[in-house]
Structure 1
Amino acid sequence: MAIFKGLGPFLLACVWGGLAFGQSALGENRIWLIAPDAPLVVKAQMTSGNRIDQIRPDAPDLAHRGPHPVGRLTLSLTNPDQIDILNTGETAPLPRYDRPLTVEVFYPAAAKTAPDPIKTYLRDGKTPVTLLGTSTLDAAPQSESAPYPLVLISHGYPGNRFLMSHLAESLASRGYVAASIDHTDSTYRDKAAFGSTLVNRPLDQLFVLDEMQRLTDMPGGPLSGLIDTSKTGLVGYSMGGYGALIAGGAGVTEKSVGYEWGAPNRTLARHTAGSKTHESLIDPRLAAIIAIGPWGRERDFWDAKGMAGLRIPTLFVAGSEDDISGYENGVRKLWQEATGTDRHLLTFLSANHNAAAPLPAPAEAFAFSETLGWYPYEHYADAVWDTVRMNNILQHFAAAFLDLHVKGDTQKAAYLNLVPEAEMGVHALDDGGLPTPDHSYWTGFADRTAKGLLFETLPAGAPAQ
């Protein structure tokens, strides 16, 4: 960023096709040029702080916010009588405890009111951070259009419930209730032994699903009558994606159960492929999974047998240079081996593990962290891709995929029926702006804006390629 220091508090970073983008060097002040509803018309909007609601002028159609104002509320939940993984030894009996979980619920609000800042922490778990979006704390819900379908959001290791708040707000504006989970032992503030995350991640996800049902059935409560869980979406990033695959029917390998650095005392065995305990976990209310950089294939937590058990339509999302979850022998292999369901793979070419999921790096992340020994910026950003662009693309595909499989909106299938290589698509419109027979460019993307992307589809039963 040193090359920007002499250019003052604001910097016009680039101009593409007549559309200018602006950002300060450190993110304290920004000029974002936001496109209104009319195509190719741009207006400048002054913003400040760590915004999570940015929409670039070149964003695809469904990245834009929906018609609903957004409210949010915080829930403190307790999953009783769970195995205490952190205090489990090598012999039985296994200790038990009541497992606490904090959940942020984003939902359609009754009226548009001033948004409330989101107070959270940086990756170091110590530095306070304020995020700015469009959601209002404890806003009255829009009950006239209820119930709304549920989407669960599950962060990585470590992460927190606000890491994908850009997506949560976007989905809530489009008529979903998004429940984003703080996974105990896996957040910036309480990161603990990895074994807890390995065992508890799918259990947390499905417990929160049950709790959302309980709370919507509770008369007079804040979520009373608000949620329809009968078709639920599940979005997981990294270890959240790992948990989502287990919840969706993919069982882990026997090899992974015995890792000394993994879950102690064979506590992961409950999730092994073909086991009665794993089969009993599967919830018929799950209708769609978005697994972003799901972890474990390169460490043999998965194999073809286990992945064949995945039975929920799944959108895999990956960076082609992912050095945490892997690509060719990681996420791409998981997509190939998931032969039990229809599945897609969205690839950000040259992106690493941070593809699409994390919110834009807060300004505080640009400072070196003595606690971590590195710049927290690395936790959020990608060396090649602009984070806001990736966020917008994820918002677009998440809306299309969830609308199709959760809401049953078959018109959204057009956004998923694409030529695999975006740059091979032909942009051909007639004088009236309608597609000609030669037009094959990605639906929802303006000309030249789908570069660097792949979107591949395999139907259920299709073997690994």
Structure 2
Amino acid sequence: MRELPLVLLSPGFGKTRSSLTGLAEDLASRGYVVAAISHTHENVATVFPGGRTATCTACRVEPHDQAFWDKVGAIRAADVSFVLDRLTGPRPMWKKGSRLIDPARIAMAGHSVGGASSVAALLKDPRIKAGMNIDGLAVVPVPTSGLGKPFLFLGSQATRTPGGQEAASWETAWRHLTGWKRWLVVVGAEHASFTDISLLGEQAGMDTGAKLSAARSMEITRAYVAAFLDLHLRGTPQPLLDRASARFPEVKICAVEQKSCA
């Protein structure tokens, strides 16, 4: 019986899928099948079953201009479609587990350029029903013709508040998102706060620049990612996405046109 929704996770540029392990484990505990992708030649190292290791070729490419990010988005979208083919196609690699996946309930979430690339994947693959950009510049543009699938922006208040210079790419994308959409910022978070890098760094005594503890930022990330997925893949109403929460006062819902968050 195909009853479990599938979530695809895409990490930041140069990062492996392990940077999203905490989020993946939480989603799995909530009844989602989770596929985290290490994009070959675009992360520190990808080790294949036969022992071959592919390093980060893309890390040595300059400049990181729009043409570069367009290519990254296209390659990541192709990676995502390939993974979907292997999980839900007629000859799946995961033979027992694939029978549990509901191919009508698939979403993608990513951190940094992984979040930006979710736009490319949503445009390319009709199987993906909803997407999320977690604190990534919107370097993969939303076409002026629009994107009608549900989309969530979740980022740090310092850099992603509407009206700020670093939020400009989100504002451009926002104008062309024609379906359900939300823009949320987290007070005290910084770029790594939404990943395991923050947790491990804090444990190692590293200062990531965040004012919010790593454990708290992970709790917030898990709660809001799950709320978005529960709403759009399970049809469960989520007040958490519609109004300020006493449980998570650090999270502000933004009124983009008014350039304010509360």
1:155·1:237 contact (CA, 8 Å) conserved in 2?
Answer: yes
Q: What is the deviation of 1:153?
A: 0.3
Q: What is the deviation of 1:291?
A: 0.9
Q: 1:137-152 to 2 correspondence within 5 Å?
A: 147-152=3-8
2:189·2:217 contact (CA, 8 Å) conserved in 1?
Answer: no
Q: What is the deviation of 1:169?
A: 0.8
Equivalent residue of 2:129, what SS?
Answer: strand
Q: Which has the larger radius of gyration?
A: 1
- Is 1:295 the counterpart of 2:137? The answer is yes
Distance 1:212 1:220 in 2: 6
Larger relative helix fraction: 2
The AA in structure 2 aligned to 1:329 is: A
Distance 2:144 2:192 in 1: 23
Aligned equivalent of 2:79: 204
- Is 1:328 the counterpart of 2:167? The answer is yes
Aligned equivalent of 1:347: 185
Structure 1 runs (4+) deviating above 4 angstroms are: 217-220
Distance 1:357 1:363 in 2: 10
Q: 1:419-438 to 2 correspondence within 5 Å?
A: 422=244
Aligned equivalent of 2:155: 318
Equivalent residue of 2:238, what SS?
Answer: helix
Q: 1:350 to 1:335 in 2, by over 3 A?
A: farther
Q: What is the deviation of 1:343?
A: 0.6
Q: 1:220 to 1:353 in 2, by over 3 A?
A: closer
Q: What is the deviation of 1:244?
A: 0.3
Q: 1:113-152 to 2 correspondence within 5 Å?
A: 147-152=3-8
Aligned equivalent of 2:176: 338
Aligned equivalent of 2:240: 415
Q: 1:154 to 1:456 in 2, by over 3 A?
A: same
The AA in structure 1 aligned to 2:119 is: L
- Is 1:454 the counterpart of 2:237? The answer is no
The AA in structure 2 aligned to 1:289 is: G
Distance 2:249 2:204 in 1: 28
Q: 1:133-212 to 2 correspondence within 5 Å?
A: 147-189=3-45, 190-193=55-58, 194=61, 195=68, 197-212=72-87
Q: What CA RMSD, in Å, does the superposition of the two structures yield over aligned residues? A: 3.1
Equivalent residue of 1:398, what SS?
Answer: helix
Q: What is the deviation of 1:219?
A: 9.7
Q: 1:216-295 to 2 correspondence within 5 Å?
A: 218=92, 221-249=95-123, 281=124, 283-295=125-137
Distance 2:144 2:31 in 1: 31
Distance 1:286 1:387 in 2: 30
Larger relative strand fraction: 1
Q: What is the deviation of 1:163?
A: 0.7
- Is 1:309 the counterpart of 2:154? The answer is no
The AA in structure 1 aligned to 2:233 is: V
Aligned equivalent of 2:225: 398
1:321·1:349 contact (CA, 8 Å) conserved in 2?
Answer: yes
Aligned equivalent of 2:214: 387
2:8·2:36 contact (CA, 8 Å) conserved in 1?
Answer: yes
1:231·1:286 contact (CA, 8 Å) conserved in 2?
Answer: yes
Q: 1:26-175 to 2 correspondence within 5 Å?
A: 147-175=3-31
Q: What is the deviation of 1:453?
A: 2.2
Distance 1:363 1:317 in 2: 21
Q: What is the deviation of 1:404?
A: 1.0
Distance 1:307 1:346 in 2: 23
Q: TM-score, normalized by length of structure 1?
A: 0.46
Q: What is the deviation of 1:334?
A: 4.3
Gaps of 5+ in 2: 46-54, 62-67
Q: Which has the higher contact order (CA 8 A, sep 6+)?
A: 2
The AA in structure 1 aligned to 2:23 is: L
Identity %, equivalent residues: 27
Distance 1:154 1:388 in 2: 21
Equivalent residue of 1:344, what SS?
Answer: strand
Q: 1:212 to 1:330 in 2, by over 3 A?
A: same
1:151·1:233 contact (CA, 8 Å) conserved in 2?
Answer: yes
The AA in structure 2 aligned to 1:454 is: K
Q: What is the deviation of 1:457?
A: 6.3
Distance 1:454 1:401 in 2: 15
Q: What is the deviation of 1:180?
A: 0.3
Equivalent residue of 2:18, what SS?
Answer: coil
